[in-house]
Amino acid sequence: MYNEKVNISSESVRNAAKEAIARRGVLISDIAEIVFEMQYPYSNGLTLAHCIQSVERVLNKREVQHAILVGVELDELAEKGMLSQPLQQLIESDESLFGIDETLAIGSVLTYGSIAMTTYGHLDKQKIGIIKKLDTRDGTGVHTFLDDLIASIAASASSRLAHRIRDVEETGESIAGRDKV
């Protein structure tokens, strides 16, 4: 009955991951703004549109989608009080020594390399933009996993941009005026 090998379509997984983020109140442009703030000191001609495009590319990755699906599910189950104890309490109270939210985020950001990882750590502590908002919505929901996921997506999109911009610059060109990076 279990373990039947059914292929779940990539499209349904991708849509569900994007829908999960939206349902939790995070816009792609919220994440792109963090990317822009991280990356514009190093990149002449960088626009918010470049950052949005990079976030969307990150969200197209299976590892990232799976991390989102699991993390948001756990946040939502905790909100409904549907987890068993003591896991319910650990997640609901965002226990300071509980690190599975970081583990999930790290697993996903590491697919963008070790520098993306370092950037994630920075964002997770600095809590800029939407990450700060999630952190201060105390009492109105559980975002134990969501804040780390958003930080990891922003760090991945930043790192992806840094690599792309280098590739463009090596050809002697600039990203200014380009639609896509």
Q: Scan residues 107-126 and list those touching Ca ion (CB under 5 A).
A: none
148 binds Ca ion (CB under 5 A): yes
Binding mask 88-117 for its own copies (x = CB under 8 A): -xx-xxxxxxxxx-xxx-xxx-xxxxxx-x
CA nearest to 67, candidates 100, 97, 42, 98: 100
By CB atoms closer than 10 A (0-12, 13-18, 19+), residue 160 is buried
For residues 179 and 110, the answer to whether their CB atoms sit within 8 Å is no
For residues 153 and 141, the answer to whether their CB atoms sit within 8 Å is no
33 binds Ca ion (CB under 5 A): no
- Which 17-36 positions form the footprint of its own copies (CB under 8 A)? none
Judged by CB under 8 A, which of 49, 70, 128, 168 binds its own copies?
70
142 binds its own copies (CB under 8 A): yes
Judged by CB under 8 A, which of 56, 63, 168, 174 binds its own copies?
63
101 binds Ca ion (CB under 5 A): yes
73 binds its own copies (CB under 8 A): yes
User: Buried b / exposed e across 81-116, counting CB within 10 Å, b at 16+?
Assistant: eebeeeebebbbebeeebebbbebbbebbebbeeeb
Other C-beta atoms lying within 10 Å of the C-beta of residue 78: 23
158 binds its own copies (CB under 8 A): no
Q: Which one of Ca ion, its own copies, none is in contact with 111 (Cβ closer than 5 to 8 A by kind)?
A: its own copies
